Amino acid sequence: MAKPMTKSQLAAALAEEMGADRKTAGEALDGVINIITREVSAGGAVTLPGVGKIHCRERPGRMVRNPSTGAQFWKEADRAVKFTIAKALKDSVNG
């Protein structure tokens, strides 16, 4: 299994793809990350065509169990970030 690409490696690859310098690509990447974070935090969703959809999901309150002690306790309702992978990406990986 290959090592995951780091942010600096992603910025370098983006710079090469755009034909720009690394600083510009890094700023563009930071901008995209900030937009996604702001939109999902506000309860919205962001679709990256060909990649997938990032959205926030509400989780109801529930009883949970500590696996090491076995003690049960009530966990309040919260929100979780979900990522749904696009069919095009699944097909390109498996095809």
pLDDT digits (tens, 9 = 90+) for 11-31: 999 999 999 999 999 999 999
**One domain, residues 53 and 73:** yes
Residue 6, H or E segment:
none
**One domain, residues 6 and 34:** yes
Q: Are strands 52-59 and 62-65 parallel, antiparallel or unpaired?
A: unpaired
pLDDT at residue 85, as a whole number:
95
**One domain, residues 36 and 76:** no
What residues make up the domain containing 11? 1-42
Return the percent helix, strand and coil in the chain, to nearest 5.
Answer: 40, 30, 30
Q: Are strands 62-65 and 72-75 parallel, antiparallel or unpaired?
A: antiparallel
**One domain, residues 35 and 62:** no
* Span 23-60, pLDDT tens digits: 999 999 999 999 999 999 999 999 999 999 999 999 99
Q: At what angle do helices 22-41 and 7-18 cross, to 10 degrees?
A: 120
Task: Give the count of domains, the chain.
Answer: 2
pLDDT band at 79 (very low <50, low <70, confident <90, very high): very high
Phi, psi of 59 (to 5 degrees): -115, 130
**One domain, residues 68 and 79:** yes
pLDDT at residue 95, as a whole number:
81
